[in-house]
Structure 1
Amino acid sequence: MSSADPVPEVHPAPAAQAAPAVPSAPTTDAADVKQTLHRYLQKHRGALLAKLDGLAERQARWPVTPTGTNVLGLVKHVAGVQAGYFGEVFDRPLPDAPAWLDSDAGDDMYATADETLDDVVAFHHRSAAHADATIEALDLDAHGVVPWWPEERRDVTLQRILVHMAYETARHAGHADIVREMLDGRAGDGDGNLAEKTADEWVEWREMLVDIAERSGLRGLGA
């Protein structure tokens, strides 16, 4: 996609499969806290994976930013990060881990020509299952070590890693949401948080924002 490409027509994503409900009431019980954090992680995992629904191999890999951000790469990256934080950190390494997990060259940010979309999704599921097993097996205060963090911060607990990975996954799910919208106009997670507008109304909405941006840019020129 280049700056000359037409803006895709907006169409909302269908309602995703319901994620486990996140309790609305605060709690201090350790088991409930772990369950709540785990459910947030699962919710954002589902949102990220759903951004691949309906994409062909080429679309899933297509870079839409100057730094090459693409939907399939985001899924692969999160799967790899998840494998490390819930594996190596707690001395529970993922069995038969791919070699690219140890690469510092950005190999986790894209799928190679030899990897299919299904390969990456399958690895994400394997990584998630391994992470879930770690979460189930350990208490919130279980000790771990993040060897790639600064020495003064590398001693962690399961609770800290759950928070970190829920944040990490949500951040990249947001990236994938924007990339998907740029690819084919599919927007939102089907959770009711996208405004209800027709395709024409979205065009009008964007044109209004463009007009505001243009007029604001002229303000400093005395226009």
Structure 2
Amino acid sequence: MPRVVPPVADERTALTAYLAHQRRALRVTAHGLSEEQARMAASASDLSIGGLIKHAARCECFWTDLILQQQRGTQPEADESNADEFQLALAEVLAAYTEAAERTDAVIAGIPDLGQAVPVPQGAPWIPAEVKEWSIRWVLLHLIEETARHGGHADVIRESIDGATFDPLLAAAEAWPDPWVQPWEPASPSVG
């Protein structure tokens, strides 16, 4: 896949393509990590790459449930603890994120009007009291924003873990034949 979103023909394609691109960027931060590294809080915060991916999956489930007016998922908490957030194995976290993304994509594909109203849960301190609904369009933009924000966190964490950066990770994860980017390779264990 290319490093950037390809040209888009319309608003729906643009929103879904940019969301897919941000998901891919977040996922690639986990490429080549051990279970221990995926749980590692390598910065001043308690965030880990596995925890960020799990959180992004939960956010997508929450918003998709709102669109469908279902209560299947739980609202992501602002103060999720390390103990709860980092329990799944990395493969399970990535699979849950894929499942959440596929569900979101299927729901969005079945909605003809991006202006369709989505009821907003009341009482959350981050939601203005006067807002009663947002549109599907707003939800997609919010998911892009949320995924990009956490992808940035994951980039910093990954670089703190082993020095890996986005382009070399993407080149390694997707086996790019591109001579412009040297694909990331795990560091050889030092002998001594």
Aligned to 1:121: 94
Higher Rg of the two aligned structures: 1
Please name the residue that 1:110 is paired with.
85
What residue is the counterpart of 2:139 in the other structure? 161
8 Å Cα contact 2:40/2:48 also seen in 1: yes
Give the secondary-structure state (helix, strand or coil) at the position aligned to 1:68: coil
> Match of 2:47?
69
Query: RCO (CA 8 Å, sep 6+): is it higher in 1 or 2?
Result: 1
Partner of 1:40: 18
Show the counterpart of 1:143.
117
| Paired residues of 2:62 and 2:75 also in contact (CA < 8 A) | no
Q: Which amino acid aligns with 1:57?
A: E
The answer to whether the 8 A contact 1:89-1:146 is kept is no
How far apart are residue 19 of structure 1 and its match? 6.9
Offset of 1:63 from its aligned partner? 0.6
TM-score by length of 1: 0.66
Within-5 A mapping of 1:71-220? 71-92=49-70, 94=72, 97=73, 101-102=74-75, 104=77, 105-107=79-81, 110-112=85-87, 115-138=88-111, 139-147=113-121, 148=124, 149-190=127-168
Task: Indicate the SS of the match to 1:153.
Answer: coil
Alignment partners' CA distance in 2, 1:125 and 1:59: 20
Cα offsets for 1:22-59 (capped at 9, x unmatched): 426xx7xxxx1011011000000001001111000000
- In structure 1, the gaps of 5 or more residues are 1-16, 198-223
Across the aligned residues of Structure 1 and Structure 2, the Cα RMSD in angstroms comes to 2.7
* Whole-angstrom distance in 2 between the partners of 1:107 and 1:154: 29
The aligned amino acid for 1:23 is P
In the TM superposition, what whole-angstrom CA distance separates every residue of 1:200-223 from its partner, at most 9, and x where no partner exists? xxxxxxxxxxxxxxxxxxxxxxxx
Identity %: 29
Q: Alpha-carbon deviations, 1:48-85, whole Å to 9, x = none?
A: 00111100000000012332111101000111011111
The 1:75/1:103 distance shift into structure 2, 3 A limit, reads closer
Aligned partner letter, 1:140: L
Offset at 1:137?
1.1
Contact 2:115 2:136 in 1 (8 A): yes
- Letter aligned with residue 118 of structure 2: G
Question: Which residue matches 1:3?
Answer: none
What is aligned with 1:23?
7
> Where do 5+ consecutive residues of structure 2 fail to align?
172-179, 183-192
Shift of the 107–154 alpha-carbon distance from structure 1 to 2, 3 Å rule, reads: farther
Match of 1:54 among 26, 29, 32: 32
- CA distance in 2 between counterparts of 1:103 and 1:39 reads 24
CA distance, structure 2, for counterparts of residue 19 and residue 90 of structure 1: 32
